[in-house]
Amino acid sequence: MKKKFSFREPLGQDLNGLYITAAQMRFFLNRRSGGKKFMEGNPEFFKYFYRCAVYNVIWDLTELDPSCATYYWDEGEGSMAIKFPPKGRVMEEFKKRQIAYVFDEEH
């Protein structure tokens, strides 16, 4: 990753069009032992990849149609959160790409 990448530039896509951006990858590699975990194929990396890929699907959809999801700061969690209707455009896209939108409750 020595080349300069733009913030939203995909590093590559899987067969369902899921991807992680250069910036997201850099965030993981900058974690303690991030490079090692990536090189070893640690499950932590794949969990991170999947979360980023799901986020990217939502981001891409809201760029086309801002009304399909809402981003907000979650004061209680101290993090960004996203909400979207259970039968809206985001969930339709998840079904089309065979994305299981199930995360543990802490994230």
Residue 101, domain member (yes or no): no
Residue 3, domain member (yes or no): no
Per-residue model confidence (pLDDT) at position 99: 85
Question: For residue 72, what are its two tokens?
Answer: 């907000």
Taking only the tens place, the pLDDT of each residue in 24-62 is 999 999 999 999 999 999 999 999 999 999 999 999 999
Residue 2, domain member (yes or no): no
Mean pLDDT of the chain: 87
Q: Which domain holds residue 26?
A: 10-96
Per-residue model confidence (pLDDT) at position 80: 87
Residue 103, domain member (yes or no): no
Number of H helices, E strands in the chain: 4, 4
In the chain, how many domains are there?
A: 1
What stretch of H or E contains 71? strand 70-74
Residue 102, domain member (yes or no): no
Q: Is the pLDDT of residue 106 over 80?
A: no
Residue 4, domain member (yes or no): no
Residue 63, domain member (yes or no): yes
